[in-house]
Amino acid sequence: MEFARKAFAREATYRVEVFTEIGSLLFRVYLLRSLWTALYGQNLAPAGIPLHAMITYATVALLMSLVLEVDGTRAIREKIREGSIATDLMKPISLPLYFFSDGIGQTIFHALAIVPSLLLALLLVHVDVPAWPAAGAFVLAFVLGYIVNFLLNFLMNTIAFWTLETFAIQLMVRWASDLLSGQILPLAFFPGILGRIVMDLPFAAIYSTPLRIYIGDLPPSEWGSAFAAQVLWIAVFGSLSFVVWRAAARRVVVQGG
């Protein structure tokens, strides 16, 4: 809790950046609405998703990205490069839990910054708000997706113990995630067997599952299996993170420091 509080205070220091981010967000929401309106006007629409639902989907995905793109595990790479990871490993704390707590503090701050943006977006594009059962399911799916995303970032940054740099790996995974998670395009755009494969990838658990619940594209009868898939990926990435971190902690190679 203390690490999360300090991270929140650190993020709140740059108030001008917060207001700039809110203005930038509203501009992007307007551009997304114009883009999808034009695409639907040319009959380039995913099956079963009306225009208003698509605008809602794109807007909520954008708001989610402000939280999910906060990467508290990036500090692993920075600490390895500057050499401070060696002394951090000697401290009587769990470093993975520290990175998670630091990320939570940053996330809470950005989530609060989203509130005025969300209110203004509701006025700008009239985003739909789901009824309570769907809203609760969306929140649960979002939390599970957040954990999947954290563990994926944790694994990528832990590789820095061997490579010292993870920028190229993160760039490739980020491109794949942006395209295959449903953040940019609903996965309904992928045809046939390709669409089924993409739905089963871990990226879909981050964005697509909560977004499909939000717009009503995923019926309540399928919520259980969707949550189970998210929990499965958490277990897989959590186990891999445990194994890789144990191996990395025994091999500390730093650059500088």
Among candidate residues 38, 79, 29, 16, the one with its CA nearest the CA of residue 56: 29
Mean pLDDT for all residues in the chain: 84
Among candidate residues 203, 135, 195, the one with its CA nearest the CA of residue 173: 203
Q: What is the pTM of this model?
A: 0.84
Among candidate residues 232, 185, 231, the one with its CA nearest the CA of residue 207: 185
Any idea what the Cα angle at residue 56 is, between residues 54 and 226, rounded to 5°? 80
Measured CA to CA, the distance from residue 103 to residue 202 in angstroms comes to 20
Q: Is the pLDDT of residue 66 over 90?
A: no
Q: For the residues 57-74, what does the mean pLDDT come to? A: 84
Q: Is the pLDDT of residue 253 over 60?
A: no
pLDDT for 107? 84
pLDDT for 204? 93
The fraction of the chain above a pLDDT of 70, given in percent, is 92
pLDDT for 208? 93
Give domain limits for the chain.
Answer: 2-249
Q: Is the pLDDT of residue 255 over 60?
A: no
235 HSE (CA, 13 A, CB side)? 6
